[in-house]
Amino acid sequence: DTEVTQTPKHLVMGMTNKKSLKCEQHMGHRAMYWYKQKAKKPPELMFVYSYEKLSINESVPSRFSPECPNSSLLNLHLHALQPEDSALYLCASSSRTGMNTEAFFGQGTRLTVV
């Protein structure tokens, strides 16, 4: 099983809503990532978890709150988002966080903030 599963696939939320994005992998990977991708742009790293601990936060606004409940799950809690936060949010995992490690990506959640 080489899948990274993200739910939901699509999400529309208001600026006062609270929602969560979920990501799951069963490959035994110990590193998990959140990326944000705007249309026609490359993915931008948001957060990295290594062995369930947050190791990188790329100066992401606090309205995005990551959580790693266990080695297979990664959540991204959303609160008070802005319309400019509308994007494709990609989750990825890798066996480790080394320089030479390829990542496996989910299909993403297409988020629209209205």
Footprint of another protein on this chain (CB under 8 A)? Answer: 4, 40-43, 45, 48, 55-56, 88, 90, 92, 97-100, 102-108, 110
d(CA 30, CA 81): 29
In whole angstroms, the minimum distance from the beta carbon of 15 to another protein comes to 24
Q: Residue 42 or 79: which CB sits closer to another protein?
A: 42
Nearer to another protein, 80 or 88 (CB): 88
Q: How far apart are CA 78 and CA 75, in angstroms?
A: 10
Q: Give the span between the Cα atoms of 22 and 48, in whole angstroms.
A: 15
Q: How far is the CB of 28 from another protein (least distance, A)?
A: 17
State whether residue 28 is helix, strand or coil: coil
